[in-house]
Chain A
Amino acid sequence: MSDFDLVVIGAGLMGCASALRAAEGGMRVAILERGAIGSGASGVNAGTLSLQIKRVGLIPYAMKGHEWWAKAGDAVGFQQTGGLTLAFNEREAKLLTERMGLKIAAGAPIELISSNAALAREPGLTRRIVAASWCPADGFASSNRTGTYLRSLLSAAGVALHEYTPAQNIERTDRGFTVDTTVGRFGCRRLLLATGAWTKQILAMLGLDMPIRVRVNTVAVLERGPRTVGSVIGHATGLLTLKQKSDGTVLIGGGWQGRGTPASGRGEVVADTLLNNLRLARFVVPGLASFRLLRSWTGFEANVPDFTPLAGALPGIPDAYVLTCVRGGYTIGPYIGRLMGDLILGREPEMKLFDPGRFADAAVVASD
């Protein structure tokens, strides 16, 4: 049994970013991951880095997140292409104008542009645009490369990474916690749960429950084809993200729902919702009609009823922390993880975190 200052459960973007910050601050850190590093939502999402689809309250965090991705650069396939969000009827135009107005007020470099200006940027779009917005800061990265990149950072920082090492039991001790795994017991002073959609199951090991729900988001990739679109394309409702990568493949997402649960370990694509997601994409970019569908998959996205991150100390359990349910976590994760690392180091984070204690009433501490 080794003793760590911090054990992080979950080697996604947020767990790794927190671990890196804590290690930078001098802590001995281990990460326990049930599968491969970055293989959950961090590795299977559509890779969109867009301020236009972020929640208003998270815009400042997302802008900081963008800086991290830009710095990671080629290693994660980062490209700052700029992004367009489009509306195709009056209802969507109203929505677009209202929502982007609030995000502009929150500091995002977004501008509302005419449909002609949108078409001038992207001639491959449908002519049926009614309203549009443009954000030069938007872009994307290749989420499948997240894990490999994080692994190299952890290795350089001396963080002990244990992949394929699921946590099976957590006990509180007088010195902190012990976590039992398939390869033995890990002891630590502090514990961080960065377990994404699996957080409900892990919280149960601590006798806690929180109202965490899980969405099953669908992503599809089209076989490489002729250059058809250059920027990240979104829809006023948030129900489409679309980008063509430098190799010509096209990634399509937007949060259309598959089925499955984290407990069953796998999510499944539902044919009808996949087809409607693809129809929306083809409507927006008619040239996609000649492309072939190569693959589709799902990723689990956790959220709580107020759609605000769970990021901070766990109620009623000293030295235990949780970081999950960050809507837009791919963009924001690296930054909010750093803030989390600061909190664990006992420093004042430079932006406020989101106290999980707001669900303390719902949290049930086991009576035994």
Chain B
Amino acid sequence: MTGTYDVIVLGAGPAGASAAIEADRLGLRVLVVDEQEDAGGQFWRMPGPKAARAHAEPDGNDLRARLRASGVTSSFGRRAWFIEPGFRISMIGPDGIEEGTASALILATGAQERHIPVPGWTLPGVFGLAAATVLLKAQGVLPGRRVTVAGVGPLLFLVATAVLKAGGEVAAIVDVNSRRDWLGHSRGLLSRPDLALRGASWLAQVRARRVPVLTRHAVRRILGTNTVEAVEAGPVDAAWTPIRGGARRIECDALCIGFGLIPLTDASRLLGASHRFDPTLGGWVVDVDRDQKTSVQRLYACGDGAGILGAAAAPLRGRIAVLAAARDLGRLPTSSFEVQARPLRAALSRSAHFGAAMTALSAPRPGLTNLISPETTVCRCESVRRAELDAAIAEGAVTINDLKSATRCGMGPCGGKICEEAAAMLIAERTGSAREHIGTATARPPLRPIALDPLLGEFNYDALPIPDLAPL
């Protein structure tokens, strides 16, 4: 798929695929890149061979059909590993390295899960909530026979319902929020009655199966020797700090646990765009204006990667981003841009309300770090325990980069995707610093680890461009 385009879209989830289709409609040459084998992203994920195709979300099938019918060049099964300004995107796939260049780039890279390392979280049988949705949707595989679902937000009920539907048992739902927390966001939820209704149906299914729902509770420990055997849950206060006593043991063979979603910002950080910390959008997020433009010329961001507003808002933001790119490339008159963007913005404002309510409901509260005991491994790639992080913070590590240098936390294969959020919360708790000061790890290529052999290809030693010699 090496070639030159008007626009490249990175990510083919609800935002990216919609953006690509819109770009094609506007007559732009467009390339969409995704490491999955088809469009849909995580939310409308394409079911794998083991899962019944009928189980796919109808909206996802519709999106895939429209993409196939369009003139969009789709580069699936390719992983973008490097993006250079201007823009040149290098990706690796089954045939080695391919490159796309375009003067406009739209990032639609989605979200990642916020993990809180509860003691025992590295045991086999522990899954992220978002990871569990992939397992259930794409693979049609149950995380366990008897599953505890824990953490925060709407994914709790989505996963519990999916487990029940797939024939599993849900041992309990352990929700750090109270009923009042949920009700507090009812206005936001009702901005999209269709989606609120869907949530209500999940709740009804959970009730009908008499699944215990523990509100204002958190999993304190995950028990088991080689795999999950049980979890210990107990009450938390309004800051989500565990309250003494009230612990109960829940027998289960799997735990799905997650604490909300965080925008994936590696690509926008790599390109030097400005970012800000906004808990209502999931944390660190790339700055975009109402046209989805970032601070870098002709770089746009949409979907959950530009702030967690959910799958309903994503396609709208993707289409607005492309309209803005077309305008900025001189391919769409400003007046047409305004006419076409207006209805999208109106619809976005309703969907964004809903998404923002869900994100606010999931925004982490400071007490969560009390769930991480001193012996608990926070960075599993480099085996760094909380006690080591606390010691380094006490010795003066006040930013994520400091802590990374001092302890190797986040230096492993995951690049901090799993541990960075918890590490930043620990610095905040220990130093009282704002997350703006704690920062993020500097984004560095490759975007994901990449095998050298396909990356380097065939080469001849004598043809390597040896630069000028260092002086003697």
A binds B: yes
Instruction: Tell yes or no: B456 within 8 A of A by CB.
Output: yes
Check A261 for interface membership: any CB of B closer than 8 A.
no
Of the candidates A148, A257, A269, A276, the one whose C-beta lies within 8 Å of that of B395 is A148
B450 (CB) vs chain A CBs: closest residue:
A293
- Collect the chain A residues with CB atoms within 8 Å of residue B452's CB: 222, 278, 282, 288-293
B453 CB-CB contact with A under 8 Å? yes
Q: Which residues of chain A are near B90, meaning CB under 8 Å?
A: 271
Docked Cα-Cα span, A296 to B461, in Å, equals 22
Q: Nearest chain B CB to A131's CB is how many angstroms away?
A: 15
Q: CB distance B406 to A147 under 8 Å?
A: yes
Task: Tell yes or no: A172 within 8 A of B by CB.
Answer: no
B402 in complex: contacting residue of A36, A102, A128, A295, CB < 8 Å: A36
B382-397 CB mask vs A (1 if < 8 Å, else 0) is 0000000000100111
- Residue B399 interfacial (CB < 8 Å): yes
Pick from A36, A148, A276, A296: contact of B401, CB under 8 Å: A36
Q: Does A279 contact B (CB under 8 A)?
A: yes
Contacts of B397 in A (CB 8 A): 148
- Judge whether A173 is part of the interface by a CB distance below 8 angstroms: no
Q: Which of B172-180, B206-214, B464-472 contacts A (4 or more CB under 8 A)?
A: B464-472
A144 on interface, CB distance cutoff 8 Å: yes
B466 contact from A147, A237, A307, A327, Cβ within 8 A: A237
Q: List A contacts of B464 (CB < 8 A).
A: 276, 279-280, 283
The verdict on A295 contacting B446 (CB below 8 Å), with A128-B461, A271-B82 known, is yes
B442 near A: Cβ within 8 Å?
yes
Among B413, B451, B469, contact of A237 (Cβ-Cβ < 8 Å) = B469
A303 closest partner in B (C-beta): B471
Does A16 sit at the interface, judged by CB under 8 A? no
Cβ contacts under 8 Å, A38 to chain B: 405
Is A296 in contact with B451, judged by CB distance below 8 angstroms?
Answer: no
CB atoms of A279 and B413 under 8 A apart:
no
A177 contacts chain B at the CB level, 8 A cutoff: no
Q: Confirm or deny: A153 has a beta carbon within 8 angstroms of a beta carbon on chain B.
A: no
Contact pattern, A 282-312, Cβ under 8 Å of B = 1, otherwise 0: 1100001111111111000000000100000
* Interface pair B456/A278, CB less than 8 Å apart: yes
The answer to whether A223 touches B406, judged by C-beta atoms less than 8 angstroms apart, is: no
**How many whole Å from B87's CB to the nearest CB in chain A?**
12
Taking the complex as formed, is B455 at the interface, i.e. its CB lies under 8 A from any CB of chain A?
yes
CA–CA, A128 to B396, complex, Å? 48
Assess whether B444 is in contact with A147, with CB atoms less than 8 Å apart.
Answer: no
Most buried by A among B82, B392, B462: B82
CB distance from B272 to the nearest CB of A (A): 7
> Could you say which residues of chain B place their CB within 8 Å of the CB of A290?
451-453
**How far does the Cβ of B297 sit from chain A's closest Cβ, in whole Å?**
15
Does B333 belong to the interface (CB within 8 Å)?
A: no
Is A88 at the interface (CB under 8 A from chain B)? yes
- Interface check B415, CB cutoff 8 A: yes
- Residues 302-330 of chain A: 1 if any B CB is under 8 Å from the residue's CB, otherwise 0? 00000100000000000000000001000
Question: Is the pair A36, B444 in contact by a Cβ cutoff of 8 Å?
Answer: no
Complex contact A257–B467 (CB within 8 A): yes
Return chain B residues, CB-CB under 8 Å to A292: 413, 449-452
* Binary per-residue interface labels of chain A (80-93) against chain B in the complex, 1 for a CB within 8 Å, 0 otherwise: 00000000110000
A256–B465 alpha-carbon span in the complex (Å): 11
Are the CB atoms of A294 and B445 closer together than 8 Å?
Answer: no
Query: Do B449 and A145 touch across chains, with their CB atoms under 8 A apart?
Result: no
Residue on B nearest A289 in the bound complex, by CB: B453
Tell me whether A270 is interfacial, beta carbon within 8 Å.
yes
Within residues 428 to 472 of chain B, which ones have a CB less than 8 A from any CB in chain A?
Answer: 442, 444-446, 449-453, 455-456, 459, 461-462, 464-467, 469-472
Chain B residue numbers with a CB within 8 Å of A95 are 469
Q: Is A283 a contact partner of B461 (Cβ separation < 8 A)?
A: yes
A 99-120 to B, binary, CB cutoff 8 A, 1 in contact else 0: 1001000000000000000000
Residues of chain A within 8 A (CB-CB) of B272 are: 266, 268
Question: Is there contact, CB below 8 Å, between B469 and A88?
Answer: no
Please, how many angstroms separate the alpha-carbon atoms of A266 and B444 in the complex? 11
User: Cβ of B453 and Cβ of A238 under 8 Å apart?
Assistant: no
B62 within 8 A of A: no
**Contact: A295 with B444, CB < 8 Å?**
yes
Q: Which of B406, B452, B461, B464 has most chain A Cβ within 10 Å?
A: B452
How far is the CB of A358 from the nearest CB of chain B, in Å? 16
Of B88, B412, B450, B470, the contact of A238 (CB 8 Å cutoff):
B470
**A270 touches which of B84, B395, B399 (Cβ 8 Å):** B84
Least distance between A309 CB and chain B CB atoms (Å): 13
Q: Which residue of A lies closest to B396 (CB)?
A: A151
| Nearest B residue to A143, CB-CB | B405
Residue of B nearest to A221 (CB): B411
Contacts of A89 in B (CB 8 A): 462
Residue pair B405, A39 in contact (C-beta under 8 Å): yes
Digit string of B83-97 for contact with A (CB within 8 Å is 1, else 0)? 011001010000000
- Residue of chain A at shortest CB distance from B415: A295
B449 to A296, Cβ gap below 8 A? Answer: no
Inter-subunit contact B456/A275 (CB<8 Å): yes
Given A223-B449, A278-B455, A293-B449: A238 and B442 interface contact (C-beta under 8 Å)? no
Interface residues in A51-102 (C-beta closer than 8 Å to B): 53, 55-56, 88-89, 95, 99, 102
Residue of B nearest to A36 (CB): B402
Tell whether A148 pairs with B446 under 8 Å between CB atoms, given A238-B470, A239-B467, A279-B459.
Answer: no
What 12 new A-B contacts, CB under 8 Å, besides A89-B462, A271-B445, A295-B411?
Answer: A56-B472, A144-B404, A147-B405, A147-B406, A237-B469, A237-B470, A239-B466, A239-B470, A256-B467, A274-B445, A291-B452, A292-B451
Show 18 A/B contacts (Cβ-Cβ < 8 Å), sorted by A: A55-B471, A55-B472, A88-B461, A147-B405, A152-B395, A163-B398, A222-B452, A237-B466, A239-B466, A269-B444, A271-B82, A271-B445, A278-B452, A279-B459, A283-B464, A291-B452, A292-B449, A295-B415
Residue ranges of A at the interface with B (Cβ–Cβ < 8 Å): 36-39, 43, 53, 55-56, 88-89, 95, 99, 102, 128, 144-145, 147-148, 151-152, 163-164, 222-223, 237-239, 255-257, 266, 268-271, 274-276, 278-280, 282-283, 288-297, 307, 327
Q: B: which residues have CB within 8 A of A?
A: 82, 84-85, 88, 90, 272, 392, 395-399, 401-402, 404-406, 408, 411-413, 415, 442, 444-446, 449-453, 455-456, 459, 461-462, 464-467, 469-472
The 5 A-B pairs of least Cβ separation, nearest first, read A238-B470, A144-B405, A292-B449, A289-B453, A148-B406
